Amino acid sequence: MSSWRRVTAAVGLISLSACTSSPGHETADQSSASLSSETAVEVVRKDLAQFTDIDGNLELADSRTLIAADTGTIVSLPAEGSVVERGDTVYLISDEPDATEVAKAVSDIAAGESQLAKSQSDLAKAQRGADPGDRASAYAALVSARTKLDDLLEPPTRSELTASESKVASARKALDDLEAGASAADRAAAAQQVAQASATLVSADNATVTTWTSLLSAHAEYCDLTVVPLDVCGAGALPLTRFQLDQLNGAVGDALAAGDPDTIVAVTQKLISSQTASDNAIATKRSAEAGLASAEAAQANKVAPASDISLTKAQADLASAEASLDELLAGAEPRAIDEARASVESARAKLADVLDGSTSEELESAEASARSSGSPVALARVQYPELLDSATAPALLRH
């Protein structure tokens, strides 16, 4: 609902003009003194007028401030400098809530309802007591705190010490190897691996040549057949694709089922096997190339000195392993033990509270909190009654 307040003017425009005059005259003696003896002039008595021009606005001496009788938003004012006659509208006020008022009402009521919901939930929980989930969580917290305290109080086992000492020895050896560099035996072994990888690559390369030659021969024999199961005899037909090989295998099966001559079947199978052997030889060569590259990289690492980054990492690994061993040998610090014991006591107290349920004082406190949380919501609805009926208010205000 909205309403408008119209205020009309009760004063008019006043126009004034001002003038001043000052009398003056001349004496007969003065007049006669200024005239020659040969001229006669009649003396006349008159008023003299003097005018002054001034720029500015003519206003009333006393101004009056208009105070609106109602609250709201001013939606209409006359333009500055306009003339307001008696009965004209001076301003219009609308009491329709604006966006700021609506937002404040939404915020106030939403905050109050959120707090009310939390208080009601706390009250319900206090009335029904702890649920199984709360009890299980409290038990788990106590077990975890007790286990941590036991670990701190008990000395390290022989297996824990052995594992920690092994880590220290391994880290120290890695650092020593980096600082000393590769031995003559290590360099010789790396060179031997490179030689073996090179020989493997040569053998693989020879195999690719041999299998390709066999493939060319089998292909020529296949294309010399009077009737071929599949036309793969054009220029650039080799190597055959996997799809073509599958088609040839299917054609062999059809030929056997139809009782075609054994020569066609044998020649086709030879082409298929030759292409397969060539593909395998190429894959083996690629693997040999990768093996040679890896062996050469390993040889380079044996010959080159360790980098600063590698040395720094090895030193950090050794320091970390030694620190872990020292902690095991020294045992837990008194402060850590005290904190673990405090955690156990706290977990035990929380479990007791969960098992005992809420006391009468806690129930009364929860009920009081729920009652007090409802007051801000009710107050907000009383403060903003027009907003609750406004078309601009969201559904949150009207539920």
**pLDDT tens per residue across span 135-146:** 778 778 888 888
Alpha-carbon torsion (241, 244, 250, 256), positive or negative? negative
Of how many residues is the chain composed?
Answer: 399
d(CA 244, CA 231): 10
| Mean pLDDT, residues 84-111 taken together | 74
- Of these ranges, 33-42, 107-116, 250-259, 267-276, the one predicted with the greatest mean pLDDT is 267-276
Burial 352-376 (b: 16+ CB within 10 A, else e): eebeeebeeeeeeebeebbeebeeb
Window from 193-197, 226-230, 335-339, 368-372 with minimum mean pLDDT: 368-372
**How many CA atoms, within 13 angstroms, populate the side-chain half-sphere of residue 195?**
6
pLDDT at residue 283, as a whole number: 94
Whether the Cβ atoms of residue 104 and residue 396 lie closer than 8 Å to each other: no
Looking at every residue in the chain, the average pLDDT score rounds to 76
pLDDT at residue 25, as a whole number: 45
In sequence order, the 6+-apart residues with CB closer than 8 A to the CB of 138 are: 130, 347, 350, 351, 354, 355
Q: Is the pLDDT of residue 280 over 70?
A: yes
Whether the Cβ atoms of residue 390 and residue 177 lie closer than 8 Å to each other: no
In sequence order, the 6+-apart residues with CB closer than 8 A to the CB of 179 are: 306, 311
Whether the Cβ atoms of residue 344 and residue 149 lie closer than 8 Å to each other: yes
pLDDT at residue 98, as a whole number: 65
d(CA 229, CA 235): 18
Q: Where are the domains of the chain?
A: 1-96, 182-304
Rounded to the nearest 10 degrees, what angle do helices 184-223 and 262-303 cross at?
A: 160
d(CA 168, CA 205): 47
Whether the Cβ atoms of residue 267 and residue 222 lie closer than 8 Å to each other: yes
Q: Is the pLDDT of residue 361 over 60?
A: yes
d(CA 78, CA 88): 10
Whether the Cβ atoms of residue 110 and residue 396 lie closer than 8 Å to each other: yes
pTM flag (> 0.75):
no
